[in-house]
Homo-oligomer: A and B are copies of this chain.
Amino acid sequence: MNPKLQWLRNKMNSLDMQGIIISNPINIRYLTNIEAEGTLLLTRKENIYITDGRYIEHVHSILTLFDEIIVYDINDVSKDDYENFFMFCENVGFEEHYVTYAMYKEYMHKYKINNLVETEYIIEKQRMIKDEEEMHNITKACNITDDCFKYILKYIKPGMTEKQIAKEIEDYYNKYADGISFETIVASGENTSKPHAVPTNRKIQNEDIITIDMGCKVNGYCSDMTRTFFVGKILEEVKPIYDLVLKNQIQTLKDYKDGMSTRLVSKMVENDFRLHNYDLIHSLGHGVGLEIHEPPYISYKNDTLLKENMVVTDEPGIYVPGKFGVRIEDTVQITKFGCINLTNSEKNYIVI
């Protein structure tokens, strides 16, 4: 059996779970490499993937005998089959954070399960810790992002629109990686005051401030990096805020290590911002992997301890409504004694 499914079976044993229904396609991708619409069942004895006609060919081309997964076409699964899958299973797990209330009720009826039990993100928690192959893919995505940023700094000229720059980044990622990992943010001038700005037709001007938040995918794994930089010259009013954000971004890099609390590290940045009369209005960071945003979420709302081989972002930002904003973000790998920057683009005042 493939090692990730084997891990899950051991985990289920330890939780007294005799079966599990995996519905989240990202978790299915993680466990099996299958990218399709379907449901993965681990029953007492079998691993079963139920999909439909559109995906059967693709699924067979991905799986090997070694995976030990039986593939069903959903149209061939009878009412009795459903009721038999989990027969004699006392507890069957489901993903309560993915499955809708309506699906939950449907599962109960269809599979005739007595105890459909919450699994509290067991797979997501395992996904937080990256193995060697996953690290390889993420590192590659981060390297391509550094290269793309170097390229784009040379590409940008006053008169170009935000949309045009975003498109150039996307084209770069389509050429050198497996495309973007999220919609690229290119914000200029007062648009930088919106943390989630969508590229507009605003043209880059002299003495503009620009924020670019960008990332790509390699074999399904993501990168994520943000830089704020300047056209022609650095605006005096931005400097103190830029310095404050950068200082905290670098301090966080020093604080990130195995054993650090996500709440504590966020609180420290929040506190320093408040001392300067600013707020941290979004999370300090988040996990990166098959999803661009995944656990652990690094904010005061969430208390997780960072662990070796987690991959997370470090992205403090300050936004002055209607004026400008500054965000600086790296993707990093947590180690026993600190963290390793996976994105390595310049971040001291960049002027193009």
Q: State the Cβ distance, A158 to closest chain B Cβ, in Å.
A: 22
Report whether B55 and A196 are in contact in the complex, using a CB–CB cutoff of 8 Å: yes
Q: Contact partner of A100 among B52, B96, B282, B322, CB < 8 A?
A: B96
A99 within 8 A of B: yes
Contacts of A110 in B (CB 8 A): none
Contacts of A303 in B (CB 8 A): none
Report whether A52 and B98 are in contact in the complex, using a CB–CB cutoff of 8 Å: no
Q: State the Cβ distance, A53 to closest chain B Cβ, in Å.
A: 3
Q: State the Cβ distance, A137 to closest chain B Cβ, in Å.
A: 18
A248 within 8 A of B: no
Contacts of A100 in B (CB 8 A): 96-101
How does the 8 Å CB contact mask read for A290-328 relative to B, with 1 for contact and 0 for none? 000000000000000000000000000000011000000
Report whether B96 and A281 are in contact in the complex, using a CB–CB cutoff of 8 Å: no
How does the 8 Å CB contact mask read for A87-102 relative to B, with 1 for contact and 0 for none? 0000000101111111
A104 within 8 A of B: yes
A167 within 8 A of B: yes
A79 within 8 A of B: no
Q: State the Cβ distance, A127 to closest chain B Cβ, in Å.
A: 17
Q: State the Cβ distance, A122 to closest chain B Cβ, in Å.
A: 14
Report whether A321 and B196 are in contact in the complex, using a CB–CB cutoff of 8 Å: no
Interface residues of A in 173-223 (CB under 8 A from B): 174, 193-196
Report whether A281 and B99 are in contact in the complex, using a CB–CB cutoff of 8 Å: no
Report whether B98 and A282 are in contact in the complex, using a CB–CB cutoff of 8 Å: no
A57 within 8 A of B: yes
Contacts of A52 in B (CB 8 A): 281-282
Q: Contact partner of A96 among B102, B171, B279, CB < 8 A?
A: B102
Report whether A54 and B282 are in contact in the complex, using a CB–CB cutoff of 8 Å: yes
A347 within 8 A of B: no
* Bound CA span A96–B167, Å: 38
Q: State the Cβ distance, A74 to closest chain B Cβ, in Å.
A: 10
Interface residues of A in 19-73 (CB under 8 A from B): 52-55, 57-58
A118 within 8 A of B: yes
Q: Which residue from chain B places its CB closest to the CB of A279 in the assembled complex?
A: B53
Contacts of A57 in B (CB 8 A): 193-194, 321-322
Q: Which residue from chain B places its CB closest to the CB of A55 in the assembled complex?
A: B196
Give the top 10 A-B pairs by smallest Cβ distance, nearest first: A53-B281, A96-B101, A96-B102, A101-B104, A54-B195, A97-B102, A54-B196, A99-B101, A101-B101, A97-B100
A–B pairs, 28, beta carbons within 8 Å: A52-B282, A53-B195, A53-B279, A54-B194, A54-B195, A54-B196, A54-B281, A54-B282, A55-B196, A57-B193, A57-B194, A57-B321, A58-B194, A58-B196, A94-B101, A96-B100, A96-B102, A97-B101, A97-B102, A98-B100, A99-B101, A100-B101, A101-B101, A101-B104, A102-B118, A163-B174, A167-B171, A167-B174
Q: A94-B101, A96-B101 are in contact. List 11 more A-B contacts (CB 8 A).
A: A52-B282, A54-B196, A54-B281, A55-B196, A57-B193, A58-B196, A96-B100, A97-B102, A100-B101, A101-B103, A101-B104
